[in-house]
């Protein structure tokens, strides 16, 4: 789920006073889509109401929805304390947006209340709820809610899983990151240019070579975007490809490549790279970014588990499909779209792909398995089962600092469990394991 697009990255603060009723209506459509299920946010971003707005109003609508999703748990707790009988879903969404405007984006109180009431009034079937929306929001303005309690930031079932897996202190630290707006992380085509590009992009260099910048706005206008000097990739997401240690001329396979950040890393290192993905649409984006970066890779739309090609590779990277619960910093909707059954369902897919990855790895070659999930069944449990059924595959321990791995993330068996607070300023949650084939 690493974003390597040129989409704008709006800053919430300067947008707090902009956007009229059309922007709020577009935000309502986007929030409703985001909470409808997986991929809902992506579908909502293409909604006509959002596309019809000018750039600043569109940025406000998106910032409002992201603020709502990042604080959805506490917002709902505050609303439930004041609304005894749940109103229709659309009214609930409008109330959520109103609370986020008033208390997260710091929109002037009158604007947050008035526009919320006006949104309800637009729907004839909901006009009887105007008084409710007005009363609830004004009541909260008189007695401001607490929206920063980590234990209410994630769905209760998910928070309970984190507490069980990592302990109560770590669970609170993980959940505290949910409310934070992330900076933008960049991977470089030429890592040797780190300091020079950091100066141009007002960024700092993180361990491993990722640049982190607080810049906002359209990425396509940033220094050296058009020249293909960098792409957007979370600091954690950049670690697995580095751990393969590919050298120029080696062969490398990226089994689930889209959106393509890891493919770009392998190609930039000089490997003869093959990128697979089931989605031809998502692979088109990979091809576009390869072209922008002036890098080459063989790209094929296929199921990596059943790919008929017989080749094996020096280095294989499997960033497997997963519940994606570690990506909540940029995709807070995943927390609310995920279901307990998703974890077991994804684990079965991962197991099948890991077996295929082992077959694709040459004797003496390396395999890196990773998931952007915080769930042990998709990480630690998956690797233990794989080792138990795969003779000849052994763990190749990862050292602290290797590839930018945070010291706190290294487990005793040499795998990585990267938690979102392990890098200052936050990072995606990942599990990473490296194997050698005898």
Could you give the residue numbers annotated as active site?
372
Residue entry with tokens 């050698």: 436
Distance CA 257, CA 301 (A): 10
Strands 430-437 and 361-371: antiparallel
Distance CA 214, CA 228 (A): 20
Interacting residues of 430 by C-beta distance below 8 A, sequence separation 6+: 236, 237, 239, 240, 326, 370, 371, 372, 373, 416, 418
184: β partners: 213
CA dihedral (328, 334, 336, 338) positive or negative? negative
Coil, helix or strand at residue 353: helix
Distance CA 430, CA 409 (A): 9
Biggest CA-to-CA distance, the chain: 71
Coil, helix or strand at residue 426: coil
Instruction: Give, in order, the Cα–Cα distances in Å from 25 to each of 103, 121, 182.
Output: 19, 12, 25
The pair phi, psi for residue 37, each rounded to 5°, is 145, 180
Q: Judge contact between 335 and 154, C-beta under 8 A.
A: yes
Distance CA 436, CA 416 (A): 16
DSSP-derived secondary structure for 250-291: -EEEESS-TT-HHHHHHHHTT-EEEEEES-HHHHHHHHHHHH
Question: What would the two tokens of residue 247 be?
Answer: 């050298």
């Amino acid at each position: 789920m690493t974003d390597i697009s040129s989409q704008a990255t709006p800053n919430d603060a300067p947008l707090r006073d902009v956007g009229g009723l059309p922007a709020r209506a577009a935000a309502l459509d986007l929030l409703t889509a985001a909470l409808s299920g997986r991929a809902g946010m992506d579908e909502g971003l293409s909604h006509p109401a959002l596309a019809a707005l000018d750039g600043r109003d569109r940025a406000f609508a998106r910032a409002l929805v992201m603020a709502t999703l990042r604080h959805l748990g506490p917002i709902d707790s505050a609303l439930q304390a004041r609304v005894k009988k749940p109103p229709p879903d659309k009214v609930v969404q409008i109330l959520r947006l109103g609370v986020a405007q008033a208390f997260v984006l710091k929109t002037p109180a009158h604007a947050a209340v008035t526009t919320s009431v006006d949104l309800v009034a637009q729907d004839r079937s909901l006009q009887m709820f105007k008084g409710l929306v007005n009363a609830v929001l004004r009541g909260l303005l008189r007695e401001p809610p607490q929206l920063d309690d980590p234990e209410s930031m994630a769905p209760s079932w998910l928070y309970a899983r984190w507490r069980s897996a990592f302990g109560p202190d770590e669970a609170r630290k993980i959940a505290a990151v949910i409310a934070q707006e992330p900076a933008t992380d960049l991977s470089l085509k030429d890592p040797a240019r780190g300091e020079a590009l950091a100066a141009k992009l007002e960024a700092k260099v993180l361990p491993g070579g990722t640049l982190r910048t607080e810049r906002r706005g359209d990425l396509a206008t940033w220094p050296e975007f058009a020249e293909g000097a960098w792409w957007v990739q979370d600091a954690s997401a950049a670690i697995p490809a580095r751990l393969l240690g590919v050298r120029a001329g080696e062969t490398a396979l990226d089994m689930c490549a889209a959106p393509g950040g890891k493919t770009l890393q392998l190609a930039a290192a000089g490997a003869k790279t093959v990128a697979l993905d089931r989605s031809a649409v998502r692979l088109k984006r990979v091809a576009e970014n390869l072209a922008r970066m002036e890098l080459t890779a063989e790209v094929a739309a296929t199921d990596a588990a059943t790919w008929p090609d017989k080749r094996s590779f020096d280095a294989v990277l499997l960033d497997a499909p997963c519940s994606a619960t570690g990506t909540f910093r940029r995709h807070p909707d995943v927390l609310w779209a995920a279901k307990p059954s998703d974890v077991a369902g994804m684990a079965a897919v991962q197991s099948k792909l890991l077996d295929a990855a082992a077959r694709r790895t040459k004797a003496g070659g390396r395999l890196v398995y990773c998931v952007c999930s915080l769930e042990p069944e998709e990480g630690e449990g998956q690797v233990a089962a794989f080792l138990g059924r795969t003779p000849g595959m052994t763990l190749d321990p990862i050292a602290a600092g290797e590839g930018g791995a945070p010291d706190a993330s290294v487990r005793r068996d040499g795998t990585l469990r990267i938690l979102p607070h392990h890098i200052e300023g936050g990072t995606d949650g990942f599990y990473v394991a490296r194997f050698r084939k005898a």
